[in-house]
């Protein structure tokens, strides 16, 4: 078993090292941080969404902003699209492809930001929510794990974190990116916490 544990950690370490040395990805993370900060400065709200583990990451991003990340500070307006009643209603009435886009259509406005998370970048419901966001003047930050996805051209910023052949390594990098974005927001608005 130890060899599998070591191999898993080595694979994760390699994926993180590749991200650290990817100048384009780092520039995209910086650009995403600036978009989030500018939206909050102008009274905008942040929305996040994803499927499966990516939904958990979307929820984690939002709760760290409304709650606390490292030190106490005021809450920030962030919502993960994860309400079970909304999702089951829309899935039943319109189909699962619309569970995120209907929420954005109902709640978002020009100046808000959507973080759309899809390891493949090709999930239909993520594609639809990004399209809807663009129509409403909502900026789109995409987190994917592959270049050339359907989501990429819809994003104002697309952070691509290839982590290997499976989604788990991509998700591990996504949570690191989300934590960095939260830290950038906090450092801007609450420098006393650092």
Q: Binding site: which residues?
A: 51-53, 60, 64, 92-93, 118-120, 123, 171, 179
Tokens for 184, please give them.
């950038």
Mark the binding-site residues for substrate, compressed into ranges. 51-53, 64, 92-93, 118-120, 123, 171
Mark the binding-site residues for Zn(2+), compressed into ranges. 60, 64, 171, 179
Q: DSSP class of residue 79?
A: E
Print the SS3 string covering 49-62.
Answer: ECCCHHHHHHHHHH
Q: Counting beta carbons within 10 angstroms of the beta carbon of residue 105, is it exposed (0 to 12), middle (13 to 18) or buried (19 or more)?
A: middle
Torsion angle, alpha carbons of 173, 174, 177, 183, to 10: -120
How far is Cα of residue 60 from the mean position of the Cα atoms in its chain? Answer: 10
Measured CA to CA, the distance from residue 56 to residue 178 in angstroms comes to 12
The candidate with the shortest Cα–Cα distance to 142, out of 177, 176, 167, 110, is 177
Measured CA to CA, the distance from residue 165 to residue 163 in angstroms comes to 7
């Amino acid at each position: 078993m130890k060899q599998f544990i070591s191999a898993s950690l080595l694979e994760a370490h390699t994926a993180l090292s590749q991200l650290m040395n990817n100048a384009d990805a780092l520039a995209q993370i910086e650009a995403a941080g600036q978009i989030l900060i500018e939206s909050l400065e102008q009274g905008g709200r942040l929305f996040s969404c994803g499927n499966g583990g990516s939904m958990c990451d979307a929820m984690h991003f939002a709760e760290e902003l409304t709650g606390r990340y490292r030190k106490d500070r005021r809450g920030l307006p962030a919502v993960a699209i994860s309400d079970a009643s909304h999702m089951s209603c829309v899935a039943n009435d319109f189909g699962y492809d619309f569970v995120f886009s209907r929420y954005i259509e109902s709640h978002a406005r020009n100046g808000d930001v959507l973080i759309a998370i899809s390891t493949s970048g090709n999930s239909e419901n993520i594609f639809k929510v990004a399209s809807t966001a663009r129509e409403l003047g909502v900026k789109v930050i995409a987190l994917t794990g592959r270049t050339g996805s359907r989501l990429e051209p819809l994003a104002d910023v697309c952070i691509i974190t290839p982590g290997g052949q499976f989604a788990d390594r991509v998700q591990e990098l996504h949570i690191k990116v989300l934590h960095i974005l939260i830290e950038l927001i906090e450092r801007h608005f609450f420098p006393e916490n650092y």
